[in-house]
Amino acid sequence: MRKFSLVFVVFGLVVSGAAAGAGQGKGAPTFTKDVAPIFYENCVTCHRPNNIAPMALLEYADARPWARSIKDLVVARVMPPWPADPDKSLAFRNERYLDQDDIDTIAAWVDGGALKGIDADMPPAPDLPEGWTYEKGEPDYVFDLPIEYTIAAEGEEDYIDFYSDIPWDEDRFAEVLELRPSDYRVVHHSGAYTVDLPWGTQVIDGVLHDLEGNS
C-alpha cells in the first residue's frame, strides 16, 4: 500500500556519440543540436529526475530508449499535454503545445535513427529549481491539504475528490496554482478548483457530507 498527500500552492497576488549508419540520411537531426533544445524549452520541467514524468529527457541516454514513443505521442499531440486547440482558442501565456516545426524535427530525428550528435552541440542544461516548477520560484502561499489517502497496490483508481476550506476570508487573485503530491509514483495528474458547497453540507476529513453525516 502506498500513501500520498497533496500540497496546494498559490503563486503571484538521451549512450555515447553515435554516427549515422547505413540507410540513415546525412542530414538527419541529432539530439544534441536539434532535439535537446526543444525538450529543454517544452518538456523538462516535468521530464527530469524525481519528478512526475516516468522518464527524464535531459540527456541522450535518458531519451534514446523512449524515442519511438516520444515521436508517437508528439505527433498525436498528446505530449506535451495541452488540451486547448491553438487553432480554435485565444493564445495563452505559458502554453505548452509544440509548433509543427518542432514536431517535424522530433519525428525526423526518430526516423533518422535517433542519433546523438556531437557533444559540442549540446545546449547548456536549463536551470531547474528543486521543488516548485514555476519560473518565479517560491510561492507566496503553501497550503498543505490535511488529507492522507491510501492507494491499492494493484488496479486503477477512479478520480478522487478531496475538499478543504480555503484559508482566507477575502477574495484573492491567483496567477498560478501548483499541486505537489507527496508520492509522484502514484499520482498521474491532478487539478484544483473552487466550488460553492451545497446548502446543508460540511467537509469532514476531506469528504463532503450532509448534515446527517452521510457521505
Query: Which of 8-22, 97-111, 121-135, 169-183 shows the lowest mean pLDDT across its residues?
Result: 8-22
Which residue has 543540436 as its cell numbers? 33
H-run or E-run covering 104: helix 100-111
Per-residue model confidence (pLDDT) at position 94: 76
pLDDT in tens, 45-61: 889 887 878 899 999 99
pLDDT in tens, 129-179: 776 767 677 788 888 877 777 888 887 777 777 877 777 888 888 888 888
User: Does any domain span residue 169?
Assistant: no
User: Does any domain span residue 136?
Assistant: no
Which residue in 14, 8, 4, 127 sits closest to 64, CA to CA? 14
35 vs 30: CA distance, rounded Å: 6
Domain that holds residue 110: 14-121
User: Does any domain span residue 9?
Assistant: no
pLDDT band at 62 (very low <50, low <70, confident <90, very high): very high
Give every CB contact of residue 126 below 8 A, 6+ residues apart in sequence: 40, 44
Average pLDDT over residues 62-78: 96
Q: Does residue 9 register a pLDDT over 90?
A: no
User: Does any domain span residue 63?
Assistant: yes
User: Does any domain span residue 133?
Assistant: no
User: Does any domain span residue 174?
Assistant: no
User: Does any domain span residue 182?
Assistant: no
Q: What angle do CA 111, 22, 28 make, to 5 degrees?
A: 40
Which residue has 553515435 as its cell numbers? 18
Number of domains in the chain: 1
Residue 179, strand partner residues? 8
Give every CB contact of residue 79 below 8 A, 6+ residues apart in sequence: 43, 70, 73
User: Does any domain span residue 54?
Assistant: yes
pTM confidence score: 0.64
